[in-house]
Each structure stands twice: as C-alpha cells, then as structure tokens.
C-alpha cells in the first residue's frame, strides 16, 4: 500500500468520527510492531496538510522482559522529530511470575494502558492514539460473540472519565494486509514482540477462523465490518455525515 492510500483512509476515519481537533496533543503508543510504526508514520505525514493543528508524542511501555532494544524505535521517532519516551514497568514480572496468569493478555493490556495513560497525561497529552486496524475491530467483535455472548468491539473514539483522556483509533479503516504491504514498501524496522505467549492467544485462533471463513465465502470480512459500523454497538458513535457533532462515549475506568 502506498502512503497516499494510507493517508486517505486515516483522514477518512479522522473526519468521519472527529478524531482530531485543533491543538490536540496526541500520545501515540509504539510497541515497535508494524501497526504502531505505520500509525506514527501516517499521523506524522497527516500533520503536513490536515486542517487542524496537532502535536505528537510517542511512548513505548517497556514490559520489563529485559531483552528488548528500543533504539530502532527511538531512531524512527527522531527521524520524524517526534518526542519519544520509554515507560519502564514490571508488568512481565507481575503477570508471569507474581500472578502466574493463565490468561495473561487481559491483565497485561490493562496494566499497559494504565502506564501509558499516566505518562501521556503527565506529558500534557489530551488524546491517545492506538494502532488498532480494521482486522483488529473485526476480531474483537468475533471474540466477544464467541467468548462473551455479546455483539461488541472497541469504538473509534472513547473518552476516559477518570483520566480525562480521549482514545482514538485512526487506522480503523486500514486492513492488516495493507499495513503489511506498507511496512514492506517503506522498509519499516519492526521490533520482535518479546511476549512468550505471542501468537498463542484466542485472538490468533479467531484470526485464523476469519481467514478460513473469508476464503470459503469471499467478502465475509467486509460484511463483518459493515455489521460493526452499522450495528448500534454500545459506545460506537455515528459518523459525522449521519449525526454531526456526535460526542465520544464516556468510559468509566
């Protein structure tokens, strides 16, 4: 995928759901994976022509495995002149040693978000951008259906009451295959995920299930996504074209 196409999809999300406002200071969560690097690339380029001025500050939550080198991420951010902060934590020790979680992803995600929220707030940010893409939204919906018995996925924009921060997902229209294509075309230096359960989660199972369904019945992924954006999911705002001025849903942390 070319940069022009990526920017078109990211801008559409920002315009449809009012993700970026004048003088926003946006914290971008950077894991070092293809999704977060692509998001930072897109937002940096969007700054050049977007009608609303905004700042970026990149953050990486160090899970504490002690084996991850963040210099490649720092160099990537430096190339864009984007401030970069590594947040040290003991999350890996708490999740895998102290708590010995049988399903570690939920606790890890909650702690990562908590650490990022605190640092973003301290840095003066009013928004946090996550790199969730179209496939993530579809997978989360199916995970909720299979394991929770409810039709749900995360919203394009969510207001966190306690922190007074707004979470935005500017890559919601971008397919994972296009992210991979962008990463390859622009030679993004992806950092390996140090988590020992990477690739062994329920999400990986659902990803494979969706792939199979889409091969057997082409267009399934498109219909899943259409069901999400038109399905009146709690917390999912209507796009501006349907309801101008829609405010983000408030979430109690």
- Predicted structure pTM score: 0.89
CA torsion, points 182, 187, 193, 199, in degrees to nearest 10?
Answer: 50
Q: What burial class does residue 33 get, using C-beta atoms within 10 Å of its C-beta: 0-12 exposed, 13-18 middle, 19+ buried?
A: middle
* In the chain, where the domains are located: 3-134+153-196
Region for 246 from its dihedrals, namely left if φ exceeds 0, alpha if ψ lies in -120 to 50, beta otherwise: beta
Where residue 133 falls (left for φ over 0; alpha for ψ -120 to 50; beta otherwise) is beta
Give the pLDDT of the chain (253 residues) as one tens digit per residue: 899 999 999 999 999 999 999 999 999 999 889 999 999 999 999 999 999 999 999 999 988 776 677 899 999 999 999 999 999 888 878 877 776 666 677 778 888 899 999 999 999 999 999 999 999 999 999 999 999 999 999 999 999 998 999 999 999 999 999 999 999 999 998 887 666 666 567 888 999 999 999 999 999 999 999 999 998 888 888 888 775 444 555 544 4
Q: Could you report the per-residue pLDDT of 174-232, keeping only the tens digit for each?
A: 999 999 999 999 999 888 766 666 656 788 899 999 999 999 999 999 999 999 999 88
| 3-134+153-196 CATH fold | Rossmann fold (3.40.50)
Q: Is 93 exposed, middle or buried (0-12, 13-18, 19+ CB in 10 A)?
A: middle
């Amino acid at each position: 995928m070319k940069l022009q196409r990526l920017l078109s999809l990211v801008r559409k999300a920002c315009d449809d759901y009012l993700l970026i406002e004048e003088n926003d200071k946006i914290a971008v969560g950077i894991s070092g994976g293809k999704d977060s690097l692509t998001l930072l690339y897109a937002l940096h380029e969007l700054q050049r022509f977007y009608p609303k001025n905004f700042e970026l500050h990149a953050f990486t939550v160090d899970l504490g495995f002690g084996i991850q080198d963040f210099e490649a991420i720092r160099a990537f951010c430096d190339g864009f002149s984007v401030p970069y902060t590594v947040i040290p934590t003991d999350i890996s020790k708490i999740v895998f040693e102290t708590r010995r979680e049988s399903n570690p992803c939920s606790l890890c995600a909650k702690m990562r978000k908590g650490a990022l929220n605190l640092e973003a707030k301290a840095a003066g940010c009013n928004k946090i951008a996550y790199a969730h893409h179209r496939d993530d939204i579809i997978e989360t919906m199916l995970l909720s259906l299979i394991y929770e018995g409810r039709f749900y996925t995360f919203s394009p924009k969510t207001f966190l009451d306690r922190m007074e921060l707004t979470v935005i997902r500017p890559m919601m229209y971008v397919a994972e295959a296009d992210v991979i294509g962008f990463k390859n075309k622009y030679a993004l230096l992806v950092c390996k995920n140090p988590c020992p359960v990477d690739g062994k989660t329920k999400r990986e199972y659902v990803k494979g299930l969706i792939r199979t369904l889409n091969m057997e019945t082409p267009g399934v992924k498109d219909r899943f996504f259409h069901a999400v954006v038109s399905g009146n999911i709690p917390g999912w705002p209507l796009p501006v074209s349907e309801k101008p001025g829609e405010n983000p849903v408030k979430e109690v942390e």
